[in-house]
A = this chain, B = another copy of it.
Amino acid sequence: MSKLNSKASSQIGKPPGSLIFVGKKKIEKSRISVLSYNEKTFEEKELKNVEECFKLKNTSGVTWLNVDGLHEIDIIEKIGKHYGIHPLTLEDILNTSQRPKVEIFEDHIFIIMKMITFNEKNCKIFSEQVSIILGKNFVISFQERPGDIFDPLRERIRKGNGRIRKMSPDYLAYAILDMVTDYYFMILEKIGEKIEEFEEDLISNPKPDALKNIYEIKKQVLFLRKSIWPMREAVNKLEGSQSSLIKKTTIPYLRGLYDHIIQVIDTIEINRELLAGMLELYLSSVSNKMNEVMKVLTMIATIFIPLTFITGIYGTNFEYLPELKWHFGYFGMWAFMLITVGGMFLYFRRKKWL
């Protein structure tokens, strides 16, 4: 899982707006790919140097420029200069510990989100910052590492599935946001399954490490919450921005996206409550077990300690100890002890310990 405490201290004292890559280098060389399309035509290519894409700036249709890897600062800088992006925005793109947000500028909209992926093997959640710049006829997206998460989207563009080829760039930006949100649902489903699994374990056979597992899931849920919570406000801002870059036909999609984000947040809150309930369940079953153990101990001790005392009596070496001389003394002792045990037994019954 990514760290819950973010922003590297290495940036302290640097002038704001200075372009420094803050994060871990997750790819050797940045990869730049371009996808430009309109309703009829479609073109896709991988660029060797960033300048190639600049001539696309004024073409009709939609251009989607995707940059994988953020450590080659000069690429970001050149794009920034060419498209007229504010230096603070460029800084935000490079600092991978940003909070999700939307910023509306006159000629472009800047969006930061957290893309969440799940590693099946070690059950860890990974987070990656995705920045989007939406302009009049282009979308530029920045990712920390190359991945195939947007491939279904590219495929839809290539095949002309759905309405994406007919729509303006804001729809493309929406489609990216929607895809990111979908991943939250997937991961919440995974977490939900894990919670259900633990629940059964807790009830049938609580183990000492159950709490640790609950704590781990709780941390993951906190992490998801931190990542999705600001997106609510951000998408709301986008929907109500009245920017000319957001077409009226896209608004219902953004509203749907907003509903989905609320749903993710709802589910996260419910998971938190379930985890709190599971904790109580666990602590209580530990208490119950302890109670049971104590009862066994008490029963054994309560029965045998008095009996041992009786044998102790007749184990003493007094010269004058009349019972020892009696012929049935030994059997009398047994009888007395059996009566004692019987009394104890009835007492335990009444106390509902047996």
Give me the interface of A with B, judged by CB distance under 8 Å.
Answer: 3-9, 11-18, 86, 88, 91-92, 97-99, 101, 103, 152-153, 156, 161-164, 174-175, 178-179, 182-183, 185-186, 188-189, 191-192, 203, 205, 208, 211-212, 215, 218-219, 222, 226, 230, 252-253, 255-256, 259-260, 262-263, 266-267, 270-271, 273-274, 277-298, 300-302, 304-309, 311-325, 327-330, 333, 351-353
Contact = CB atoms under 8 A, between A and B. Distances in A.
Contacts of A3: 192
Given A252-B88, A256-B16, A283-B284, A319 B324 contact: yes
B263 A6 contact: yes
**Which of A186, A189, A203, A288: most chain B Cβ within 10 A?**
A288
Given A13-B153, A161-B15, A315-B315, A293 B294 contact: yes
A263 to B, nearest CB: 5
Contacts of A301: 297, 300-301, 305
Interface pairs A-B: 4 shortest CB-CB: A15-B162, A311-B312, A5-B192, A13-B152
A222 to B, nearest CB: 6
A154 to B, nearest CB: 11
Given A215-B277, A315-B316, A263 B307 contact: no
Contacts of A314: 316-318
Identical chains in the assembly:
5
Contacts of A267: 4-6
25 contacts: A4-B274, A5-B189, A5-B192, A5-B270, A5-B271, A7-B263, A9-B185, A12-B182, A12-B186, A13-B153, A15-B162, A16-B162, A86-B252, A98-B263, A99-B266, A211-B284, A222-B273, A230-B262, A279-B284, A293-B298, A312-B315, A317-B317, A320-B327, A320-B329, A322-B330
Contact of A15 (B163, B259, B278, B295): B163
B302 A305 contact: no
Nearest to A322: B330
Contacts of A328: 320
B309 A304 contact: yes
A168 to B, nearest CB: 15
Contacts of A274: 4, 219, 222
A11 B317 CA distance: 82
Contact of A311 (B6, B316, B353): B316
